[in-house]
Amino acid sequence: MAAAISVSSAARDEKSFTGANFAPNPLYKSYDQAAELENWGFETGEQVEADTGDEGSPTASDSPRRLDDELTALGPEEIASRLERTRREFYNRRKIIIKNLPADISNQEVHELLSSYDLKYCFVDKYKGTNGDIAFVTLLNGEQAQFAIKEFHQYVLREREISVQLQPTDALLCIANLPRAFTQQQFEELVRPFGNIERCFLVHSSTTGHSKGYGFVEYMKKDSAARAKSELLGKQLGSRMLYVHWTEVGSLTFPMLHSLCLCVDRLPQNILSAQDLRSVLIDTHTPIFCQVGSKCLFMQNVFFFALFFFCVNMH
């Protein structure tokens, strides 16, 4: 999948980003960025304290990025709770579509068919179906949707075999480069202004329970998702700039929530091409995709370049 995880660090000079800094950690599915970040050679608080003894130099407490990423250890119960919430929200797809219904079926008949379930919405469309009518139904939760599919898919209704499936969605966004200390509540507050939300969850490290720096939100309507994407893409959140993209729900599985894609910013200015990055990364793992971009920003009357890359490794 295309979700990007931020593992960026405030690299203050070229020496802080060399090939030797990349410890041999795998970038495949079992790689846990939250647990292994320090092994990539990024500066720790102790290193910063040792390096910033000059008068007027910034301290660790002055760094917005380090403040973003200040995390405390979580207990096993809290880790389990966060992982369970993500799992529950991921599977909470409660909209189903019923196809091949009799041409004269009514909303009332669909309600009677699903009388053992809690229907929140039901609409029979007599024009979309090429072979019978179609009903769009929203149930109480994803569990009810799965039970309804098992009970009524290929069910014979008035001599017609109906099809019951989850509704496809075109309103799912992945929002990446979030501060790792960002909470579920803060994430919901970030995405709620743009429309009614169907699902919303952060992705957490299975080892530490901390956010991996990205999450997913599905809106009830596509125009709400489009508005959110337009407003949030490139939005500055603390020291981070958000990355937002559409997600194909049909190809997204629960194991794939743990991204194979890394987003790293604040690279030294001598990293100018994908080949420069490959030469740095090749001793660790050869990326199958590697891209460098640059953006000129104006801050406090000083121009500087924010460099970043996306790297995916499937090996």
Torsion of CA 110, 116, 119, 123, to 10 degrees: -10
Say yes or no: 301 and 208 in one domain. Answer: no
DSSP per position, 300-315: TTEEEEEEEEEEE---
Domain that holds residue 109: 95-166
CA distance 34 to 314: 19
Say yes or no: 37 and 174 in one domain. Answer: no
Say yes or no: 153 and 27 in one domain. Answer: no
DSSP per position, 240-271: EE-EEEE--GGG--SGGGS-SEEEEE---TT-
Count CB neighbours of 272 within 10 A.
Answer: 14
Say yes or no: 179 and 237 in one domain. Answer: yes
Q: Which of 108, 137, 166 is the last residue of a domain?
A: 166
Task: Quote the tokens at residue 267.
Answer: 């690279």
Say yes or no: 16 and 130 in one domain. Answer: no
Say yes or no: 81 and 69 in one domain. Answer: no
- Those residues with Cβ within 8 angstroms of residue 135's Cβ, 6 or more apart along the chain or in another chain: 97, 98, 101, 105, 107, 110, 122, 123, 124, 125
Say whether 57 sits in a helix, a strand or coil: coil
State the 10-residue block means of pLDDT for the chain, 315 residues long: 40 34 36 40 37 44 53 93 94 93 92 94 81 89 94 95 93 93 95 96 94 94 97 91 88 79 71 79 74 53 38 41
Q: Which of 256, 277, 297 is the last residue of a domain?
A: 256
Name residue, tokens 């971009």: 293
Say whether 60 sits in a helix, a strand or coil: helix
Phi first, then psi: give them for residue 23, nearest 5 degrees. Answer: -70, 155
Per DSSP, the chain holds a count of helices (H) and strands (E) of 9, 16
How many structural domains does the chain have? 3
Say yes or no: 206 and 221 in one domain. Answer: yes
Q: What is the CATH number of the domain that holds 153?
A: 3.30.70.330
DSSP 8-state assignment for residue 6: E
Say yes or no: 178 and 247 in one domain. Answer: yes
> CA 30, 34, 37, 39 torsion: positive or negative?
negative
| pLDDT for 294 | 57
Task: Quote the tokens at residue 212.
Answer: 């991996």
| pLDDT for 43 | 37
| pLDDT for 28 | 33
Task: Quote the tokens at residue 180.
Answer: 């790792």
Q: Which of 166, 194, 209 is the last residue of a domain?
A: 166
Task: Quote the tokens at residue 195.
Answer: 């429309």
| pLDDT for 163 | 96
Tell which residue, 201, 208, 310, 206, has the closest CA to residue 258.
206
Say yes or no: 83 and 217 in one domain. Answer: yes
Say yes or no: 180 and 146 in one domain. Answer: no
Question: Structure pTM?
Answer: 0.65
DSSP per position, 141-209: SHHHHHHHHHHHTT-EETTEE-EEEEPP-S-EEEEES--TT--HHHHHHHHGGGS-EEEEEEEE-TTT-
Query: How many CA atoms within 13 Å lie on the side-chain side of 212?
Result: 30
Tell which residue, 248, 252, 258, 251, has the closest CA to residue 203.
258
241: left (phi over 0), alpha (psi -120 to 50) or beta: beta
Say yes or no: 135 and 284 in one domain. Answer: no
Say yes or no: 67 and 81 in one domain. Answer: no
